[in-house]
Amino acid sequence: STVAESLQSGTRLQNSRLTEQDWVLIRFLIPVNGDGRSSALASKTPRSFTAAHLEVRKVYVWELEVNVEKSLDFATKIVLFYEEFSKTRKDTTIAKQLLRSATSVGANINEAVYGNSKADFISKLHISLKETGESIYWLKLLKRTSLIDYNFDSLLSLAEEIKRMLIASLNTAKE
């Protein structure tokens, strides 16, 4: 059974069976005190976690991993685009803005995975969503200017897919 299923059923977890993904999931399951710090449960061993101790939230590690991978693919494609664009000797101001926003998407998703609290997690995903929106804007602008002949549609499609995934993750995290 999965970690989430074990926690919901009250089954105690065994350290030897926990993967790194499980540890990340457990971090999001730990209740947070009113002051924003993790409760004393954070110091207990995973064996002591049960549904009775935890409010099981619907934030799943696989969903985050997909977001991280997609955003890394997106950032890689943007870096390669920027390298090609910079060789044209045209003004790179817009391309630099795109490079900054596109690489920030994945960086913030990755920070969300290791956030200190649910609020921190949601905040980082919101930043990623904003950076995705900004990247889409710069891509559309570059496409309209025709400064370089490039397949902007594939980059826009990937950015839109990441945006949809982030919105879904945020909606899940806020439940």
Convert the pLDDT of each residue in 60-113 to its tens digit: 454 666 678 899 999 999 999 999 999 998 888 999 999 999 999 999 988 887
8 pLDDT above the threshold of 70: no
Output 15 or 126, whichever has higher pLDDT. 126
d(CA 94, CA 84): 14
pLDDT digits (tens, 9 = 90+) for 20-60: 555 555 555 544 444 444 444 444 444 444 443 343 333 44
pLDDT at 82: 95
Q: Which of 36, 171, 158 is nearest to 106 (CA)?
A: 158
pLDDT at 80: 96
pLDDT at 150: 92
Strand partners, 38: 32
Instruction: Show Cβ contacts of residue 170 under 8 Å, excluding neighbours closer than 6 positions.
Output: 122, 125, 126, 129
pLDDT at 20: 55
137 pLDDT above the threshold of 70: yes
Instruction: Show Cβ contacts of residue 78 under 8 Å, excluding neighbours closer than 6 positions.
Output: 98, 99, 102, 103, 135, 155
Residue found by looking up tokens 């919105």 in the block: 167
pLDDT at 10: 52
160 pLDDT above the threshold of 90: yes
Is residue 78 within 8 A of residue 150, CB to CB? The reply is: no
Output 34 or 144, whichever has higher pLDDT. 144
pLDDT at 122: 87
